[in-house]
Chain A
Amino acid sequence: MNARARWRPVALAWAALMALLLLTLGLAYLPLGRLNLVAALAIAAAKAALVVVVFMHPRRGPSALRVAAVVGVATLSLLFGLSSLDFGTRHAEPAAAQVPKQLPPLRQPGPGPRPER
C-alpha cells in the first residue's frame, strides 16, 4: 500500500470533520428552536463516530477491546437513563440561585470582656 492510499482515509476524515465543524457553527446561528440542540448533538455524535472509526481502529485488536468500549458506553447510558428518570419524574422545586454576598462579621470589634463560651 503506497503512502497516498494509506493517508487517504485520514485526509478524507479530516476534511469531513472540518466541514461538520463549520456546519455546526453555522447552524448555531439559525433560530431553529429545540432543533438547535438536536442538530448540535447529532453533529457532535457524527464527528465522534468519525474519530473513533477512522482514527482509533476499533476493529483491529482483540474482541475484548470492543466489549470494553461497549460496556463503557452502556454504563454511561445507564447513568444518564436512570438519572433522567429521577430528575424527570420529580417535581422541581426551583431554589433561587443564591447571590453571593459578604455577611457582617459575627463578633463586633470593640472594648469589653470576651463573651464566655
Chain B
Amino acid sequence: MAAVLPARPTPEAAPQDHEVGLLGMWIFLVTELLFFGGLFLAYAVARAHAPEAFALAGAHTHVVLGTINTALLLTASALVAGAVSAGEADRASRAVPWLLGLAAALGVAFLAVKGAEYVSEWHEHLVPGPDFALRDVGGAQLFFVLYWTMTALHGVHVAVGVAVLALFARGTHRLSAWATPRRVEVAGLYWHFVDLVWIVLYPLLYLMGRHP
C-alpha cells in the first residue's frame, strides 16, 4: 500500500502558509502586548499614587524630541503599509525595497534622536540614583524608572524592527525567492506593533504636566 504524500508546497502555492505566518505573528504580538502591559499597569498604579510627582517629573522630558520621534515612527509605519500594498499589486515593484529602506532609515533616525535625548537626560541627572535631580519629590524617581525601562525596552524593539525591515528591503531589492509579499506583510505587522507601543508611551511620558 503506497502512501500518497502531497507534493511539498512552494511558498507561492500555499495560501495556508501565509495564514499560519499571519496568525503566528499576531499571537506573538499578543504576548508582546502583555509583556508591555505589565509596565503600563505599573505606570498606572504609580501615577495613581503620586499624580503630582508624575506631572512634575513628566514636565522634565524633552517634548520636542518626543514629538519628532512620534512623527518619525508614524511615518515609517505608513511607508511599510505602502510597501505591503505595492508588493501585493506587483511582486517585482521597485517601490517595495525603497519604501522598506526608507522606513528602516526613519527607524534609525528615531534611535539617533532617542540616543541624543538619553545623553541630555544623563547630564541633567534624570537617571534615578544618588545624583537624581528631583530627589526631593517623592515618586519622581518612579516616573523616571518607568521612563528609562519602557523607552529602553521599546528601543530594543525598534532596533529589531529596523533590522527586519532592512533585511526585507535587501531581499525585495534583489527579488530573492524568500522575500515574498506575504512575508513582507508579516514582518510589517511587527513594525506596526512597535509603532502602537510608542503611540501609548508618547502621551504618558511626554505630555504629562505640560499645562501651567
Interfacial residues, chain A to chain B (CB-CB below 8 A)? 1, 3, 6-7, 10-11, 13-14, 17-18, 21, 24-25, 28-32, 36, 40-41, 43-44, 47-48, 51-52, 54-57, 60-62, 64-65, 68-69, 71-73, 75-76, 79-80, 83-84, 87, 92, 94, 96-97, 99-102
Contact = CB atoms under 8 A, between A and B. Distances in A.
Q: Closest 10 CB pairs between A and B?
A: A72-B30, A40-B203, A97-B138, A28-B207, A14-B78, A55-B81, A28-B210, A61-B22, A31-B211, A76-B37
Contacts of B130: 100-102
A79 B37 contact: yes
Interface residues of B, number: 57
Contacts of B203: 24, 28, 40-41, 43-44
Interface of B: 18-19, 22-23, 26-27, 29-31, 33-34, 37-38, 41, 44-45, 48-49, 63, 67, 70-71, 74-75, 77-78, 80-82, 85-86, 89, 129-130, 132, 135-136, 138-142, 185, 188-189, 192, 195-196, 199-200, 202-204, 207, 210-212
B41 A80 contact: yes
Given A21-B70, A65-B23, 5 more contacts: A6-B85, A41-B203, A61-B19, A69-B26, A75-B34
B21 to A, nearest CB: 9
Given A36-B211, A99-B135, A72 B34 contact: yes
A71 B64 CA distance: 36
Given A28-B211, A62-B22, A18 B34 contact: no
B26 A68 contact: yes
Nearest to B195: A51
- Looking at chain B's contact residues, the main secondary structure is helix
A3 B199 CA distance: 28
